[in-house]
Chain A
Amino acid sequence: MSTVDPLLIETIESMFGDLCEPEKVGAAEGGLDAVLWNALTESGMSTVGLAESIGGSGGTLHDAAAIAKAAGRHCAPVPLTELSIVGGWVCEQAGLQLPEGPMAVVIGEGARTYWAPVATAFVVVTDAGVAVVSSADVILGESGRNYAGEPWAKVTVSAASLVAGPSVAAVHGRGALARSLLMAGALSHAADLSVQYCNEREQFGKPIGKFQVLQQYLSQMAGEAAAAQAAADNAVDVLAAGADQDEAMRVVAAAKTVTGRAVGIINKLAHQIHGAIGYTDEHRLQYTTRRLWSWRDEHGAEAEWAAALGASLAAAGGRALWPAITKWPPAAVR
């Protein structure tokens, strides 16, 4: 357990609030929003949670996680977590200085590298070691965009001097953590937007929120959003307490599985509640739901993570299950 300074939350909320209006989020599709990116880097927000010794802003994983959740809530059209949660962490572990500019993380060969088309710095993770290279040292191959217009490309690295660093599997896990945090934020936003719409929209002479079936939907959404948030928070607490590799895999797998599963439930209900207007590009809901549909598949969908987690639980056997459950969240020493 660790508390995040309310001032940090306030600052990041107001920055995203000012700079992530729906039109800006829409306009940034296919790339990133340079104004927001500059604001994040100039204020040091993009490297909160990374050691000052490598050029980060300092602070804890809990701080970085709070910022990541806020980014998800606001649909921030920037590769923030590629730096703050994934690539920056690789640099920290490997003792490499943080490079300037938007970052993408090349994890293994042939995988999609999220945000590669707009990145100027690349963290390369291989079985033989890790490196930081610039755009000059990489070749972009096949490319595309996720459902939300966030770009990716397959990347071939032409030159890199590798140093010892986290494994491919470990960095994949950091990616899953990042997406879990983004999803936790975005899921609660989809639920909040739905509450708001239920109070605004009137049919049959009353706000649609007066219909009991929609009240039940909203309650279910609040529940799934809270559970997703709890799964992501468990992961942050366990990693911050210094989990070994197997434990880290398990807790990230649980987070990615629970948050990813919630997307199917919450997106469906959010769109049902919003009616036809929510199905259009005019309404802001779609910025959130398209991201959620994308993020649940990135860095391993639920099927992949749940299978890995389940294999580990089954190998340990039924008697080990309860001790595993009660290990999370770690106890607080007061």
Chain B
Amino acid sequence: MANRLVFPDAALPASTEAIRTRVRAFLEAELANGTFTPRADTWLSGHDPSFSRKLGAEGFLGLTYPKQYGGQERSALDRFVVVEELLAYGAPIAAHWIAERQSGPTIIKHGNDALREELVPGIVRGETYFSIGMSEPDSGSDLASIRSTARRVDGGWVINGTKVWTSQAHNNQYFIVLVRSTPAAEANGRHNGMSQFVLDLRSPGVQIRPIRLLSGHHHFNEVVMTDVFVPEYMMLGVEGNGWAQVIGELAYERSGPERILSTYPLLAALVDAVGPTPSSEASAEIATLFGRMTALRRLCISVALSLDAGRSPVTEAALVKDLGTQLEGEIPEVARRLVPPGVSERFDQLLGDSILSAPGFTLRGGTNEILRGIVARELGVR
């Protein structure tokens, strides 16, 4: 059988229902209080520290982390449920998003004790925020070609180089940066000789410059690091093993419900905007989006169950992200066909958010072309 991709059964355990009820009730109350207005793409653009701290106080962050660092040691499926509810409600969750999703788990896995104790509890409280320091001006899809360097000095490392497209670096305290700790020419193969560090973005020698999005928003940054000192204990994992560590994170980064739900709030608004008795063409278009979303959500759950069972469904995650991000982009295309501008302010705002953020969906976290390459390799043609 050629197709080796597997999506085993996909039912969430019934035990997740309790936390779903709790987070839904919390979100309904916040909505009623007017703490937030539902927006699209809020996991990347809705940076709201007070909301993140509230989530921390409610115990909705770091659910899977060890209790020692403030976590609850709950299953990844409980986290899945909390996260998908936050996304569906369009709540502002960008401040803690990267920290809670990947920086915390990376630090727990690869950081030393001092670093864990210093940073993880703040992530769980919704106070400590992280960005991702991977891409560089000449290194996008070909991440292994990065040129930023770390040089060993007394008591730590000195880092030089430039990172770009660094989401929210101007609002967050830290990023995890991938750099060359051994020059490419001396490393044994281009994937060797890279290391990961936690870098305090407030350190001397760090310059953060805005790169405005086409919408005018300040989201991206260029982070220039000039002789930035990083103490030894902030190195993650093993020197030279940075690439493998980054790859290990990918299944987590790529399979989450955020890869299908970025424009969900617009879909819900669309259902209201077309009214209770739309034309059969409009009904059919909405139902097609709904049908695909329910199918892709099943695949997402299946990947989450595989991860929870200790497998590494990297290819399956890539496949789901390819499909999911396409769906995210189609929702505004359908919405604008069915509803003219000016019908409702809420709809117009969500549509505008969605149209203007759509180009990013199929780029961030690995472009869809790269994802399909990963799937093709698993299919045995590469």
Binding site for B on A (CB under 8 A): 1-3, 188, 191-192, 195-196, 198-199, 207, 209-210, 212, 214-216, 218-220, 222-231, 233-234, 237, 253-255, 257-258, 261, 302-303, 305-311, 313-315, 317-319, 321-322, 324-326, 328-334
- A-contacting residues, B66-89, CB 8 Å: 84, 88
Contacts of B320 in A (CB 8 A): 223
In the complex, whether B114 has a CB less than 8 A from a CB of chain A is no
B3: contacting residue among A222, A233, A303, A306, CB under 8 A: A222
CB distance from B141 to the nearest CB of A (A): 13
- A-contacting residues, B253-268, CB 8 Å: 264, 267-268
Whether A329 pairs with B271 at a CB distance below 8 angstroms is no
In the complex, whether B200 has a CB less than 8 A from a CB of chain A is no
Whether A314 pairs with B278 at a CB distance below 8 angstroms is yes
Whether B2 pairs with A332 at a CB distance below 8 angstroms is no
Contacts of A224 in B (CB 8 A): 323
Extra contacts besides A310-B283, A334-B13 (7): CB < 8 Å: A223-B323, A230-B296, A230-B299, A302-B284, A307-B284, A309-B291, A310-B278
Q: How far is the CA of A26 from the CA of B293 in the complex (A)?
A: 37
Binding site for A on B (CB under 8 A): 1-3, 5, 7, 9-17, 20, 84, 88, 264, 267-272, 274-278, 280-288, 290-299, 301-302, 319-320, 322-323, 369, 371-373, 375-376, 379-382
Contacts of B274 in A (CB 8 A): 314
Name 18 A/B residue pairs within 8 A (Cβ), A-sorted. A2-B9, A192-B3, A218-B379, A219-B373, A219-B375, A227-B323, A234-B294, A253-B287, A307-B281, A308-B283, A311-B278, A311-B280, A313-B290, A314-B286, A317-B271, A329-B11, A333-B14, A334-B15
CB distance from A210 to the nearest CB of B (A): 7
Interface centre among A3, A216, A225 (most CB of B within 10 A): A216
CB distance from B17 to the nearest CB of A (A): 6
CB distance from A181 to the nearest CB of B (A): 14
B298: contacting residue among A188, A207, A329, CB under 8 A: A329
Whether B2 pairs with A220 at a CB distance below 8 angstroms is no
Whether B268 pairs with A192 at a CB distance below 8 angstroms is no
Whether B2 pairs with A223 at a CB distance below 8 angstroms is no
Whether A329 pairs with B301 at a CB distance below 8 angstroms is yes
Q: Across the two chains, which residue of chain A brings its CB closest to B299?
A: A230
Q: How far is the CA of A332 from the CA of B17 in the complex (A)?
A: 10
B2: contacting residue among A195, A253, A325, CB under 8 A: A195
CB distance from A191 to the nearest CB of B (A): 6
CB distance from B274 to the nearest CB of A (A): 6
A199: contacting residue among B302, B322, B372, B380, CB under 8 A: B380
Contacts of B295 in A (CB 8 A): 227-228, 230-231, 234, 254, 258
Whether A325 pairs with B379 at a CB distance below 8 angstroms is no
Q: How far is the CA of A310 from the CA of B284 in the complex (A)?
A: 5
Q: Across the two chains, which residue of chain A brings its CB closest to B371?
A: A219
Q: Across the two chains, which residue of chain A brings its CB closest to B8?
A: A3
Q: How far is the CA of A101 from the CA of B294 in the complex (A)?
A: 38
Q: How far is the CA of A188 from the CA of B4 in the complex (A)?
A: 11
Contacts of B376 in A (CB 8 A): 209, 215-216, 218-219
Whether B381 pairs with A326 at a CB distance below 8 angstroms is no
Whether A222 pairs with B5 at a CB distance below 8 angstroms is yes
Q: How far is the CA of A324 from the CA of B281 in the complex (A)?
A: 21
Whether A331 pairs with B12 at a CB distance below 8 angstroms is yes
Whether A306 pairs with B291 at a CB distance below 8 angstroms is yes
Contacts of B20 in A (CB 8 A): 326
A254: contacting residue among B287, B322, B379, CB under 8 A: B287
Contacts of B276 in A (CB 8 A): 314-315, 317
CB distance from A112 to the nearest CB of B (A): 22
Q: How far is the CA of A219 from the CA of B372 in the complex (A)?
A: 5
Q: How far is the CA of A225 from the CA of B380 in the complex (A)?
A: 17
A207: contacting residue among B278, B285, B290, B381, CB under 8 A: B381
